[in-house]
Amino acid sequence: MNKFCVTCSRFPVKILFFSRKFCSHETPREISDPKKRICKIMMFCPKVGLETALDETGIRASPDLIDDILQRFENAGMQAYRFFEWAGKQRNYTHSVRAYHIMIGSLAKVRQYQIMWDLVNNMRSKGILNVETFCVIIRKYARAQKVDEAVYTFNVMDKYGVLPNLAAFNSLLSAFCKSKNVRKAQEIFDSMKDRFVPDSKTYSILLEGWGKDPNLPKAREIFAEMVDRGCDPDIVTYGIMVDVLCKAGRVDEAIGIVRDMDARGCRPTSFIYSVLVHTYGIENRIGDAIDMFLEMERNGVMADVVVYNALIGAFCKVQRFRNVFRVLDDMDHKGVLPNARTYNIILTSLIDRGENDEAFKIFLRMIKVCDPDVDTYTMMIKMFCESGKLEMALKVWKYMKMKHFVPSMHTFSVLINGLCEKGEVSKACIFFEQMIEKGMRPSGSTFGRLRQLLIKEGREDVLEFLNEKINLLVKEPLCD
């Protein structure tokens, strides 16, 4: 079967597309820092040449180096796994437990469950399996709404020589609660609470789960059961109860709990104050939000970035951006560094208001202070795509690649859809192939959109090529 380049159907594909050639003008040896050299290869070298390119660096593998690279490329799926495999073959090097856990989580993100379990068996043969290994898998299955698989993982622990304990039980409950399946968590709790003696963390997990459901009566029931069984609420439990009440619109009742805590000599934490400030912001009670922030300072509780983010969110909600910048100045004065979340709150608000130029200025300010995260990049690329500024979207993408940040499947989809919207089909195909190359299976809607445009332009050959690439990805060990 003939194959054709996605950018021009007149020329046959050799092995690699020009869009994926590894730095023809710059070799890995020109980069002095080992981590940067490997990151450069990981970002630009296709899978067929990855191992050779890594070998040619002559870099000695060490646990710290490999762990850092895997953490940075945790979104890279099969590309990360190929690096993991290469590292495992190096002399005088053995993968750390952390490396295995990062890789297991990375594989789960791209649904490569068969390989994930192969790694578990590998760990068992080396005698390094632990409770956290299974907790990682449970969390990933729960996030993917794979209820049966998560429960199976918990139940199969003892067959792997790892006895499930209260920490594993709590992790199972937490995984379901965080994936918005608190009813399943409650069912598991009710069936196993005699097998494991619940502690304050167990009840706090369920309490938080019902709070997010939201189901205030059930949350109250859990809290009462906790007290009845002689399990005293701790500061975390109080914080969650305050959060639950605030989410249910009972902020005044939440304040009552805070006052009761104070009376018992249990000082509210910065988290509790952040919840109250955030809730007042949502309710447009900006005056109360400010008063609560000032009360926190008067009580000697140091404001951290989470509380500041809540206050910034409150000001953004009422569109008082001058105050937002004053808060940023106050953070700087007090030595509290803004994080990606800080700027994402501001960017979201500005973009929602259609103030794209101002949002870009904030983005430029942000990159001087902290590294953007996947939400930041996705947000900015989407903003420029939707406003028809594809060149700017591609510049953000280029900057992201320069920072060796691996885009997520959603980030790829946003750019591909933006290119399709403007008829830039060839460029969209290039990014689509890069996405597949990293082991990320595109969504049906993204591929469907690209497929329609290719058929419209009479480029069935390119469509056939991309279909083949997707099929090859599917044929890699995948267990759903």
Q: How far apart are CA 31 and CA 47, in angstroms?
A: 21
Task: Give the residue-averaged pLDDT of 462-467.
Answer: 89
The pLDDT tens digits for 58-88 are 999 999 999 999 999 988 888 899 999 999 9
Higher pLDDT: 12 or 327? It is 327
Q: How far is CA 240 from the centre of its chain?
A: 22
> Does residue 394 sit within a domain?
no
- Would you call the peptide bond into 407 cis, given omega within 30 degrees of 0 as the criterion? no
- Position 23 scores a pLDDT of 39
| pLDDT at position 329 over 90 | yes
- Position 106 scores a pLDDT of 93
Q: How far apart are CA 369 and CA 346, in angstroms?
A: 15
> Does residue 253 sit within a domain?
yes
Task: Give the residue-averaged pLDDT of 158-178.
Answer: 93
pTM of the model: 0.71
Tokens of 316: 């953004």
Check: CB of residue 346 under 8 Å from CB of residue 362. yes
User: Over the Cα atoms of the chain, what is R_g?
Assistant: 25
Q: How confident is the model at residue 11 (pLDDT cuts 50, 70, 90)?
A: very low
Q: How far apart are CA 186 and CA 189, in angstroms?
A: 5
Residue 50 neighbours by CB distance under 10 Å = 18
| pLDDT at position 433 over 60 | yes
> Does residue 82 sit within a domain?
no
Percent of the chain with pLDDT over 70: 92
Q: How far apart are CA 29 and CA 84, in angstroms?
A: 21
Domain span at residue 233 reads 198-268
Number of domains comprising the chain: 1
| pLDDT at position 313 over 70 | yes
Sign of the torsion angle spanned by Cα atoms 389, 395, 398, 402 = negative
Q: How far apart are CA 84 and CA 63, in angstroms?
A: 11
Task: Give the residue-averaged pLDDT of 437-454.
Answer: 88
The pLDDT tens digits for 169-204 are 999 999 899 888 999 999 999 999 889 999 999 999
> Does residue 86 sit within a domain?
no
Task: Give the residue-averaged pLDDT of 441-449.
Answer: 88
Q: How far apart are CA 54 and CA 50, in angstroms?
A: 6
Sign of the torsion angle spanned by Cα atoms 224, 228, 231, 235 = positive
The pLDDT tens digits for 368-424 are 999 999 999 999 999 999 999 999 999 999 999 999 898 988 999 999 999 999 999
Q: How far apart are CA 192 and CA 197, in angstroms?
A: 9
Higher pLDDT: 45 or 458? It is 458
Higher pLDDT: 178 or 292? It is 292
Check: CB of residue 77 under 8 Å from CB of residue 112. yes
| pLDDT at position 206 over 50 | yes
| pLDDT at position 18 over 60 | no
> Does residue 213 sit within a domain?
yes
- Position 475 scores a pLDDT of 55
> Does residue 478 sit within a domain?
no
- Across 357-387, b (16+ Cβ under 10 Å) vs e yields ebbbebbeebeeeeebebbbbbbbbbbbbee
Give the largest Cα separation in the chain, rounded: 79
> Does residue 284 sit within a domain?
no
- Position 474 scores a pLDDT of 60
Check: CB of residue 380 under 8 Å from CB of residue 347. yes
The pLDDT tens digits for 30-51 are 457 888 899 888 887 766 788 8
Residue 271 neighbours by CB distance under 10 Å = 18
- Position 44 scores a pLDDT of 78
Pairing mode of beta strands 8-12, 4-5: antiparallel
Average pLDDT value over all residues in the chain? 88
> Does residue 233 sit within a domain?
yes
Tokens of 338: 């803004």
Q: How far apart are CA 434 and CA 20, in angstroms?
A: 8
Percent of the chain with pLDDT over 90: 69
